[in-house]
Structure 1
Amino acid sequence: MKEIIATMAGTVLNILVTSGDNVSGGQEVLIIESMKMEIPIESETDGLIKEIKVSIGDFVNEGDVLIIVE
């Protein structure tokens, strides 16, 4: 399994996938808002979304696990 992690601290603005979705490497899966900027988070690998560990509105720190891909 592969973890998609937060690249910076911020608030989860939007989740673009759901559990069970197939993703490709480079596909945007989540948007974080930090310092009034929207930062897209991309999957680094192809796979199936196993678990989404955050909800819209959650504050995340850099390095937090956001999504599990298998």
Structure 2
Amino acid sequence: MQIICPMGGNMWKMLVKEGDEVTEGEEVAILESMKMEISIESEGDGVVKAVSVAEGDFVQEGDVILTLE
């Protein structure tokens, strides 16, 4: 399962790393867009297989942030 960026902005904070277990609805990252902090939540349960962006990266709507297995 992939966690997708909902809008363009700067990845302000990654709250999980590879190997972490996450549950549906858990906050996994915080995006900064238009001077607002947007919480990004997991859409399902799983283990973080890959983190595709780093803190400070600019991401666009539709970019993959995390991959869960």
- Is the TM-score greater than 0.5? yes
Show the 5 A alignment for 1:53-64. 53-64=52-63
> TM (normalized to structure 1)?
0.97
2:34 aligns with: 35
Q: Count how many residue pairs are aligned between Structure 1 and Structure 2.
A: 69
Q: CA RMSD in A?
A: 0.3
2:51 aligns with: 52
Q: Unmatched 5+ residue regions in structure 2? A: none
Task: Report the identity percentage.
Answer: 54
Q: What amino acid is aligned across from residue 55 of structure 2 in structure 1?
A: I
Q: CA deviation at 1:60?
A: 0.3
Q: Unmatched 5+ residue regions in structure 1? A: none
Q: Secondary structure at the match of 1:45?
A: coil
